[in-house]
Each structure stands twice: as structure tokens, then as C-alpha cells.
Amino acid sequence: MSYEPVIGLEVHLQLSTSTKLFCGCLAKYGAAPNSQTCPVCLGLPGVLPVLNERVMEWGIRVALAVDCQIAQTMKFDRKQYFYPDLPKNYQISQYDRPLAQRGHLDIVADHAPKRIGITRIHLEEDAGKLLHEASQTESYVDFNRTGVPLLEIVSEPDLRSPEEAYQYLIELKAIIEYLAVSTCNMEEGSLRCDTNVSLRRPGASQFGAKVEVKNLNSFKAVKQALAYEIQRQAVALDQGQRIRQETRLWDARALRTEPMRSKEGAADYRYFPEPDLVPFVIDRALIARMKATLPELPAERRRRYQDAYQLSAYDAQVLTQHAALGELFEGALRCGAPPKPAANWIMGDYLAHLNAKNREPESEKLRPEWLAHLIQLVDDGTISGKMAKDLFVQTLERGEDPRRLVEEGGLKQIVDAAALEPIADEVLRKNQRSVEDYLKGKTTAFTHLMGQAMKLSKGKANPQQMAALLKRKLEQVPS
């Protein structure tokens, strides 16, 4: 039987403000355990939270970027549960009056544009981290992460396939990167994602029982886990079973979901308004200021690339997925590179390099003018296309301007006829057999001679010139 998957996503985003949500502690990742704590984030008796307004501003920027309505007044609530990584045993979050609601995000999946609703965006504090490895008998708590600002972005159940969910995440991540409010690093936990999925018969108006899937450590895992869950639920439904509303964990090694060990009864978080923080009236002027200073977002940039540079929809899509790629592209253009070759270099050799090294574009130190110089070196015939590929790798590895590399390493092509002559002569002298084959009409012999010539010149000979020179000399050989 066929079913329609109904998918919703909850994304938790750590905002990379320099300090925490409710105290002045640094929020840097990777510091020594408990070195970034104070009485407030440790929840000592008598302390009080004070909102870091920068967090609210950044939250507003994200909300505006996905066309959300910003609340007139937002408030905080306590979400209560006992866990050792939560020093107050409640988390300050937002329940019924979040920062923003009712937005949307546009994706393209299976070549069709689709608008995905965003239910709400709210602020909350992160919890600490339990460390179990240090001892067999004891667990330790690192409170550095406690109070780091989180933005929770909840989508409507508008997604209908794992691919749509994947595209939603890619687009959301691109937007966040453009806004530069989070590092979006799933390994370090600065971006976390949970998903809800249920199945229903096509055309049905009611939703099926939904299953929440957690422990998704990459976008790929989201896609895989959803595909698995959809399959699992479909098989169960086909067998006449009912789907249990539950939380399941993705096992990335076994590639399957497992039910989470259920706690006694349903969790009752006993939300109530945080009495230590008064409701915040959000200044309309602040929103206007945030709106006016929003950077160009991926969708706008895509349109511009297609219109201004005649790039294909696909090229524009690839170049705008990371803010850094677009910046590299446009930087190269400003340095005189023509659009299409610049796009090709980035989408081809550059992305391949990043993938091979498993690096993010932000972490790479390729300067736009270097890319422009490289393209220019090929265009003016200084180096061959093949040399350019090697030179590009060297540029990345050594972090140097290709122009300088060419000059320093004598990589410049030999276009000087006087310099090419002795090379050609030597090749002909040392490869009598090929010369004879060629003269007998075996044209493949020429390829061999050409290869030898390039080798002897250490790849520096201008191939067109060398070919012409070799042919001229072969014609002169007395037969």
C-alpha cells in the first residue's frame, strides 16, 4: 500500500554570541571543563538570569530571514525536569509566547519549488555535558555549555520526503551561515536536529501517529533515518499494526532506529512563566534596524547570479549553498575573472578539494584574487590548462598567489622559440624509432614524441607551440 510521509523538523541552533544567554560567561567551544562558568550559570542559590540582548537581536535576524512574525512581547518559561547536566533542574525556555512565529522557507526538491512553513522560533538555554569516560564508577559534569544560547526552529509538518527534509536543512543552514550567527557545526553540536515523521494514506486529512527521531548527527543521517522510519512504519501498517507514538534513536552504525528507553509515564515539564525575567516588549525600531541590516540571503543571491552572470540554476544553487563560496566567486569577479570559468573552478576543483580534505569553505584560505590570477594565467597562455590544475592544488596547499608560484618555481610556460628548439631537437634525436614510425604514416607516434617533449620541459613547454615546432622539424627530416 502507498503512504504519504508527513515530516516536521526541529532544529536547535547554538548562537555564537561571545557570551551566554543569561550571564557574562564566555560561550566558546572546547574550553577546559567548567572554566567558563559563574554563579549564575551554575545555578547557585540566590542568582538571577539577565537576558543577553545580543542573543535576542540575533534571534530576530534569523526570524526575519525566514519571514517570521516577531512577537510584540515575548516571555520566558521554565521547563522542569531533573537531570545532572541541568544545574537548576529547569531550563529557561519559551513556551506560549516565543520570539517569533509563522514564517516559511523555500526549497527546491525534485526540481520543483516548495514553500515549507515555520511554526515558531524560540530562545532557550543549553544544558551542560555529562562525562562518563573518566571513571568506571563516577560521572562528571562540564557546565561550560550550560546557558549557551540556543535558537529552536520548528517547521510545520509540510515536508513529504527525506529529500525535502534534506533540502530544508541545507537551505536553513545556508541562511544561518549568511547571517553569521552560528557555526552550524553538527559534530560540535552547534546545530542539532530532531525530526517527527508519520504516515497517512494519500489524500487523508488526518495525521498518523507520529514518531520522534533523535540522535541525528549529520544531514545525511536525517535523510537515512527518515527513509528507514518511513519504510519501517509502512511495513508495520501493511501488517495491520498500529504505530506507537514514541521517541526513537537513530543508530548510525546499524542504520536503524531503536525505541528510546521510555521513562515512566509521559514527561510533564510543568511549564510556567519564568518569574525572574519580566516579559520583553520587542522594540519595533530594533526590528526595523535588524531588517535593514540583513545581508543578501541565498535565494536573492541565486536570482542575482542567474540574472547578472547568466549562470544556470544549478550553478547558482551550488555557489550559494555556502556564503563563503559566493564570496569567493564574487571576489574573483571583482579581480577581473570572467564568471563562467570562476564558477567552474569553484564548483569543480575547489569543491572536490574540500570534499577530499573534508573541510568547510570557511576554513579554507583561498583568496579570491588568487583564483582570478590562476584563470588569467591560463587565459594569457602563461600556463596550460593541465598545469593550472596542479598549480591550483599548490596554491591551496602552500597558501600562495599562483602568480608568485609560477615566477618562483619557473613554472611559466616556455613560449620562447629559442628555448623550445633544443628540447625538440633532443626529443627527435633520442626517439629515432618514433620518428620513423611517424614518417611511415603512424600518427600515434606523434603523441609519444609530444609526451616526451613535455616531459623533458618539465611540463612547461607551451603545448601548441611545441606541437607546431615538432611537426615543422619532422617535415624537414630527410626521408
Strand partners, 115: 106
DSSP state of 362: G
Query: Half-sphere exposure (CA, 13 Å, Cβ side) for 245?
Result: 6
84 forms part of the interface with another protein (CB under 8 A): yes
Q: Does 131 bind another protein (CB under 8 A)?
A: no
The region of 86-94, 167-175, 236-244, 454-462 touching another protein under the rule CB under 8 A is 86-94
φ and ψ at residue 100, rounded to 5 degrees: -155, 155
Examine residue 281 and tell whether it contacts another protein (CB under 8 A): no
Binder to another protein among 33, 43, 117, 459 (CB under 8 A)?
A: 43
State the alpha helices, DSSP H only, in 349-442: 351-357, 368-379, 385-398, 402-409, 417-430, 432-439
Q: Does 124 bind another protein (CB under 8 A)?
A: no
From CA 445, how far away is CA 219, in angstroms rounded?
A: 52
Ramachandran quadrant class, 379 (left: phi over 0; alpha: psi -120 to 50; beta: rest) = alpha
- Contact status: 46 vs another protein (CB under 8 A): yes
Question: Which residue in 238, 258, 276, 425 binds another protein (CB under 8 A)?
Answer: 276
Question: Closest distance between another protein and the C-beta of residue 92, in Å?
Answer: 11
- The answer to whether residue 234 forms part of the interface with another protein (CB under 8 A) is no
Q: What is the per-residue binding string for another protein in 3-42, x denoting contact by CB under 8 A?
A: ------------------------------------x--x
- Least Å from the CB of residue 143 to another protein: 9
Q: Binding of another protein at residue 113 (CB under 8 A)?
A: no
- Given 20, 78, 173, 223, the residue binding another protein (CB under 8 A): 78
Per CB under 8 A, the list member of 18, 72, 73, 89 interacting with another protein is: 89
Beta bridge partners of 74: 280
Q: Output the nine-digit C-alpha cell for 250.
A: 537513530
Binding track, positions 91-110, relative to another protein; x by CB under 8 A: --------------------
For position 88 contacting another protein by CB under 8 A, the verdict is: yes
Query: 226-229: long-range contacts (C-beta < 8 A, 24 or more apart)?
Result: 226/5, 226/7, 226/161, 226/162, 226/165, 226/195, 226/197, 227/162, 228/255, 228/256, 228/257, 229/197, 229/257
Residues 17 and 55 sit within 8 Å (Cβ to Cβ)? yes
- Does 275 bind another protein (CB under 8 A)? Our answer is yes
- Total of chain residues touching another protein, rule CB under 8 A: 28
Q: How far is the CB of 240 from another protein (least distance, A)?
A: 32
Measured distance CA(391)–CA(380) in Å, rounded: 15
**80 touches another protein by CB under 8 A:** yes
Do residues 123 and 59 make contact, with C-beta atoms less than 8 angstroms apart?
A: yes
Residue 313 within binding range of another protein, rule CB under 8 A = no
Only one of the segments 60-68, 166-174, 273-281, 325-333 lies at the binding site for another protein (rule: CB under 8 A); that segment is 273-281
Q: Is 72 in the site for another protein (CB under 8 A)?
A: no
How far is 341 from 450, CA to CA, in rounded Å? Answer: 27
Nearest to 231 by CA among 256, 201, 267, 204: 256
Asked if residue 352 binds another protein (CB under 8 A), the reply is: no
| Cβ distance to another protein smaller for residue 87 or 208 | 87
Give the span between the Cα atoms of 306 and 241, in whole angstroms.
50
Site of interaction with another protein (CB under 8 A): 39, 42-51, 78, 80, 82, 84, 87-90, 141, 268, 270-272, 275-278
